[in-house]
């Protein structure tokens, strides 16, 4: 029988893996995709606990996480296009204009 721990272990592995991706990658779009992966692993935790506790509130929260992820995608990708227009690359090593 699959318990809630199985699902949460998968979510933990995905979350840790995408943490590594966020910290090591230099391409801003790949970092963005890793953040989406983190949000998705949290969604998996929400839904598995919601199903285990037999309470629907967790699934409503997943709905809001998805709304925030969609807003983040729109604004984040617009930021990347604006940055690419200035610097001709989206390497995060080049994002140093605010560095003193």
**In whole angstroms, how close is the CB of 80 to other proteins at the nearest point?**
6
Q: CA of 9: how far to CAs of 3, 31, 71, in Å?
A: 10, 23, 28
Q: Which residues have a Cβ under 8 Å from the Cβ of 41 and sit 6 or more positions away?
A: 10, 11, 12, 14, 15, 18
**In whole angstroms, how close is the CB of 6 to other proteins at the nearest point?**
6
Nearer to other proteins, 64 or 100 (CB): 64
- Residues found near other proteins in the complex (CB under 8 A): 1-2, 4-10, 12-21, 23-27, 29-30, 32-34, 36-37, 40, 43-44, 47-57, 59-60, 62-64, 66-75, 77-82, 84-85, 90, 93
How far is residue 22's CA from residue 37's CA, in Å, rounded to a whole number?
Answer: 10
């Amino acid at each position: 029988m699959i318990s809630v721990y199985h699902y949460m272990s998968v979510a933990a592995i995905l979350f840790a893996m995408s943490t590594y991706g966020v910290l090591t990658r230099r391409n801003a779009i790949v970092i963005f995709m890793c953040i989406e992966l983190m949000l998705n692993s949290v969604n998996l935790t929400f839904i598995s606990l919601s199903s285990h506790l037999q309470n629907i509130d967790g699934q409503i929260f997943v709905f809001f996480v998805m709304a925030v992820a969609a807003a983040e995608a729109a604004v984040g990708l617009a930021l990347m296009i604006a940055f690419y227009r200035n610097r001709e690359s989206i390497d995060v090593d080049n994002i140093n204009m605010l560095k003193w």
